[in-house]
Amino acid sequence: MNTLTRKLATAGSALALAASGLLLASSPASAATSCYGSDCTGKDPSTTVCQNDARTVATTGLGVELRYSPTCRAAWARTGADTAMTIWVESNTGLSQSAYHSGNGTVWTAMIDDKGIIARSCGYVMGFGQQCSSWY
């Protein structure tokens, strides 16, 4: 193999290795953190692994979902309704997290501990009132 071919092969290998490192480093799963129960309280579900297995377990008439992650044992409220409202998630032990939704896009609250307790999601629309989901 001549010198030019050897240099090109080395440069190509180095570029391929660097590119594969970038792809692995930018993977969303590798950037997500983990929490469990009370460690999840106050954390954003979109930056944790909790969103990966989350499911909607209850919904209000206003379209506020109660999201629950069995892996994290955490709950949060989420809505994509086209109405401006305040949403929150609350537990039967007094924990709560809230967020304001302008009526555009999707908004969710921070999480609360849901290990061995129950939670519900709620929404409040000015002039209409409050609605809460069933407890889960």
- At 11-39, the pLDDT tens digits run 444 444 444 443 344 344 445 789 999 99
pLDDT band at 86 (very low <50, low <70, confident <90, very high): very high
Quick one: 21 and 39 in the same domain?
A: no
The answer, yes or no, to whether residue 71 has pLDDT greater than 60, is: yes
pLDDT for residue 65: 98
Quick one: 1 and 53 in the same domain?
A: no
DSSP symbols for 48-93: BGGGGS-EEEEE-TT--EEEEETTTTEEEEEE--SS-EEEEEEETT
Provide the number of structural domains found in the chain.
Answer: 2
Quick one: 123 and 94 in the same domain?
A: yes
User: pLDDT digits over 87-125, tens only?
Assistant: 999 999 999 999 999 999 999 999 999 999 999 999 999
Mean pLDDT of 54-70: 98
Quick one: 53 and 101 in the same domain?
A: yes
Quick one: 70 and 26 in the same domain?
A: no
**89: buried, middle or exposed (CB in 10 Å: 19+, 13-18, 0-12)?**
buried
Q: How far is the CA of 32 from the CAs of 25, 81, 100, in angstroms?
A: 12, 27, 24
pLDDT for residue 2: 54
Quick one: 24 and 63 in the same domain?
A: no
% residues pLDDT > 70 (the chain):
77
Quick one: 80 and 114 in the same domain?
A: yes
Quick one: 81 and 113 in the same domain?
A: yes
Average pLDDT of the chain?
A: 85
Quick one: 15 and 59 in the same domain?
A: no
Quick one: 27 and 56 in the same domain?
A: no
CATH number of the domain to which 49 belongs: 2.60.40
Quick one: 14 and 53 in the same domain?
A: no
* Domain limits for position 26: 1-31
